[in-house]
């Protein structure tokens, strides 16, 4: 049992296993590891390739083409442009995320228990899963020596404003402060799924098939019994072979787009599949300082404030390769050139709104998932409020110029009082450049089969031996960064599955 060399596989192959897991992100990786460690025979199918530390590069175009879903160009159709980012590689989006590790706020779990009729969930039980995960993943606060100036500036800004703030809890064992999490940790110390749970799954006997995209679920007599998949060519990503996996159970962990698509293709009669797409709506502000900040040094997201957490807004420092931000710089020609030249004087801060807006996922052209999303005015207003706070934090940190990236306010702000405009003007969904990195809800869990897709154990209400373990089961935004929550629900489901499927 091992990592399979799928690049050598052509023609049609058949395998038999107890549990077939589709996707190797935080949802799938936890299930694979927990089952394999309990002696269950597991096959993991992953659409993307392996990402090695040596392949991390600040050449963002090349990186996104190779390791992000739709080359990072996934955007929802609706009343605004919302980029929706997900990785497509072994380890899923954990390979490109910032490794912030946070529990679901208790009040949101209680809200789900009440509103979604998840009566068999308790705060205490979830806490037990969180504790195990935090220990296994090596969670710790971002360390001061590797904060770097960009995080420390914002820390001082928060302090000057009298806002509560703290180092972000992350899962990086000995962060070197390379600030390159988004393009794969170059030092290999980030605790991604590939380097932790997938590795443990494989060393405990699971078989991993990278470059293998599940296309159809096999269902017979109301039970899931297998998966059909394309084996993809490593360069063209076109099918070069076919893999049929016969299984006692199937776990969909392909994320918020692919999991509902596979269920829809299987013609499962549940009107909620693919509905209820939710997103934390992210926007950011950039600040330029007189002094050099060298933002490419220091934890990528090392500091944050929970000041507005109860309101559903978080604020976190942020960095990504300069090419990602260059398109957001104001000006053209010489003015733009100067700003690009001065990148070392810049840093950024992001805010995310929990969001009440919803959308859906359907099969689009070429058999790919197509997201639709409509932003409500409440979320526009919350975004404006969050963005104002980011601008205030940058000015308080000493920024000379701030770029809000928002249509309807000055492109370049030099006076802190200009942030008031964010509260006094009325904005539209298209006023902002939204990026959604936290997505939820398209196979939502709940106690009522007419209102939800899976139960609290992540099993389909409609098909036996079919599970969904990924972000799509979370019924609403989490406010907190969601990876730990996804892992906790997947762990809970996996322990139950182990009882059922262990020989």
When asked if residue 347 is in the footprint of ligand FAD (CB under 6 A), the reply is no
What span, in angstroms and rounded, lies between the C-alpha atoms of 88 and 92? 6
Least Å distance, CB 331 to ligand FAD, is 26
Label the pairing between strands 401-403 and 313-318.
Answer: unpaired
Question: 150 to 209, contacts with ligand FAD by CB under 6 A?
Answer: 182
Nearer to ligand FAD, 275 or 438 (CB): 438
Nearer to ligand FAD, 182 or 427 (CB): 182
Least Å distance, CB 217 to ligand FAD, is 10
Alpha-carbon distance values, 60 to 66, 72, 218, 480 (Å): 10, 10, 38, 27
When asked if residue 93 is in the footprint of ligand FAD (CB under 6 A), the reply is yes
Tokens 């996934």, located at residue: 74
What span, in angstroms and rounded, lies between the C-alpha atoms of 323 and 481? 25
Nearer to ligand FAD, 26 or 302 (CB): 26
Q: Which stretch binds ligand FAD (CB under 6 A): 81-89, 395-403, 423-431, 494-502?
A: 81-89
Q: Which stretch binds ligand FAD (CB under 6 A): 144-152, 253-261, 380-388, 426-434?
A: 253-261
What span, in angstroms and rounded, lies between the C-alpha atoms of 485 and 481? 8
What span, in angstroms and rounded, lies between the C-alpha atoms of 217 and 229? 9
Alpha-carbon distance values, 350 to 164, 354, 378, 435 (Å): 16, 13, 19, 10
Nearer to ligand FAD, 100 or 391 (CB): 100
When asked if residue 255 is in the footprint of ligand FAD (CB under 6 A), the reply is yes
Least Å distance, CB 305 to ligand FAD, is 16
What span, in angstroms and rounded, lies between the C-alpha atoms of 37 and 451? 34
Q: Which stretch binds ligand FAD (CB under 6 A): 18-26, 240-248, 328-336, 383-391?
A: 18-26
3 state DSSP class of 468: strand
Q: Where are the beta strands (DSSP E) in 103-144?
A: 140-141
When asked if residue 98 is in the footprint of ligand FAD (CB under 6 A), the reply is yes
Give the H or E element holding residue 75: strand 75-78
Question: 257 to 276, contacts with ligand FAD by CB under 6 A?
Answer: 258
What span, in angstroms and rounded, lies between the C-alpha atoms of 353 and 280? 5
Least Å distance, CB 291 to ligand FAD, is 28
Q: Site map for ligand FAD, 431-460, x if CB under 6 A?
A: ------xx----------------------
Question: 458 to 477, contacts with ligand FAD by CB under 6 A?
Answer: 470-471
**Are the C-beta atoms of 298 and 409 separated by less than 8 Å?**
no
Nearer to ligand FAD, 314 or 409 (CB): 314
* Residue of the chain from 17, 35, 48, 350 that contacts ligand FAD (CB under 6 A): 48
* Residue of the chain from 40, 60, 96, 133 that contacts ligand FAD (CB under 6 A): 96
Least Å distance, CB 412 to ligand FAD, is 27
When asked if residue 142 is in the footprint of ligand FAD (CB under 6 A), the reply is no
Give the distance, in angstroms, between the CA of residue 331 and the centroid of all CA atoms in the same chain: 32
What span, in angstroms and rounded, lies between the C-alpha atoms of 183 and 63? 7
Give the H or E element holding residue 243: strand 239-252
Q: Site map for ligand FAD, 399-428, x if CB under 6 A?
A: ------------------------------
**Are the C-beta atoms of 213 and 9 separated by less than 8 Å?**
no
Q: Look up residue 388 and give its two tokens.
A: 């104002």
Q: Look up residue 339 and give its two tokens.
A: 């700003």
When asked if residue 357 is in the footprint of ligand FAD (CB under 6 A), the reply is no
Nearest C-alpha neighbor of 248 from the set 212, 220, 270, 211: 220
Q: Which stretch binds ligand FAD (CB under 6 A): 39-47, 114-122, 374-382, 449-457?
A: 39-47
* Residue of the chain from 105, 254, 287, 475 that contacts ligand FAD (CB under 6 A): 254
* Residue of the chain from 3, 32, 43, 45 that contacts ligand FAD (CB under 6 A): 45
Length of the chain: 503
Question: Which residues are within 8 A (CB) of 106 and not within 5 positions of it... i.e. 6 or more apart?
Answer: 123
When asked if residue 99 is in the footprint of ligand FAD (CB under 6 A), the reply is yes
- Which residues are near ligand FAD by CB under 6 A? 22-28, 45-48, 85-89, 92-94, 96-100, 182, 213-214, 253-255, 258, 437-438, 470-471, 481-483, 486
């Amino acid at each position: 049992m091992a990592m399979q060399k799928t690049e050598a596989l052509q023609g049609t192959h058949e395998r038999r296993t107890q549990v077939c897991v589709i996707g190797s992100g935080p949802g799938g990786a936890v299930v694979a590891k927990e089952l394999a460690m309990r002696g269950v025979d597991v096959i993991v199918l992953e659409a993307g390739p392996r990402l090695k530390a040596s392949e991390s590069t600040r050449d963002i175009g090349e990186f996104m083409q190779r390791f992000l879903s739709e080359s990072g160009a996934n955007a929802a159709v609706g009343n605004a442009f919302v980029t929706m980012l997900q990785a497509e590689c072994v380890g899923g989006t954990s390979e490109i995320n910032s490794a912030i590790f946070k529990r679901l706020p208790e009040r949101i779990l209680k809200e789900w228990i009440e509103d979604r009729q998840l009566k068999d969930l308790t705060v205490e039980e979830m806490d037990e899963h969180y504790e195990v995960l935090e220990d296994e993943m090596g969670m710790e606060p971002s360390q001061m020596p590797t904060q770097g100036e960009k995080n420390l500036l914002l820390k001082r800004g928060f302090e000057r404003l009298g806002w509560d703030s703290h180092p972000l809890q992350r899962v990086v064992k000995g962060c070197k402060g390379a600030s390159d999490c988004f393009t794969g940790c170059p030092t290999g110390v980030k605790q991604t799924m590939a380097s932790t749970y997938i590795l443990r799954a494989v060393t405990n006997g699971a078989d991993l098939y990278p470059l293998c995209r599940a296309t159809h679920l096999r269902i017979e007599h109301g039970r899931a019994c297998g998966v059909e998949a394309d084996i993809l060519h490593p360069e063209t990503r076109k099918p070069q072979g076919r893999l049929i996996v016969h299984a006692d159970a199937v776990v969909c962990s392909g994320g918020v787009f692919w999991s509902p698509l596979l269920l829809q293709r299987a013609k499962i009669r549940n009107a909620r599949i693919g509905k209820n797409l939710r997103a934390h709506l992210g926007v950011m502000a950039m600040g330029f300082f007189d002094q050099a900040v060298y933002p490419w040094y220091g934890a990528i997201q090392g500091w944050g404030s929970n000041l507005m957490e109860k309101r559903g807004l978080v604020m976190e420092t942020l960095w990504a390769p300069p090419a990602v931000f260059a398109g957001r710089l104001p000006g053209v020609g010489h003015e733009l050139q100067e700003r690009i030249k001065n990148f070392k004087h810049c840093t950024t801060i992001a805010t995310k709104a929990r969001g009440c807006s919803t959308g859906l996922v359907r099969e689009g052209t070429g058999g790919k998932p197509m997201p639709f999303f409509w932003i409500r005015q409440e979320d526009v207003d919350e975004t404006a409020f969050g963005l104002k706070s980011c601008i205030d934090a940058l000015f308080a940190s000493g920024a000379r110029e701030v770029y809000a990236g928002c249509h309807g306010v000055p492109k370049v702000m030099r006076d802190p009082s200009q942030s008031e405009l964010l509260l006094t003007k009325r904005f539209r969904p298209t006023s902002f450049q939204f990026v959604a990195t936290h997505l939820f809800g398209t196979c939502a869990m709940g106690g009522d089969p007419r209102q939800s897709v899976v139960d609290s154990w992540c099993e389909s209400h409609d098909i036996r031996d079919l599970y969904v373990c990924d972000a799509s089961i979370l019924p609403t935004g989490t406010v907190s960064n969601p990876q730990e929550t996804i892992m906790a629900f997947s762990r809970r489901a996996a322990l139950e599955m182990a009882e059922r499927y262990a020989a």
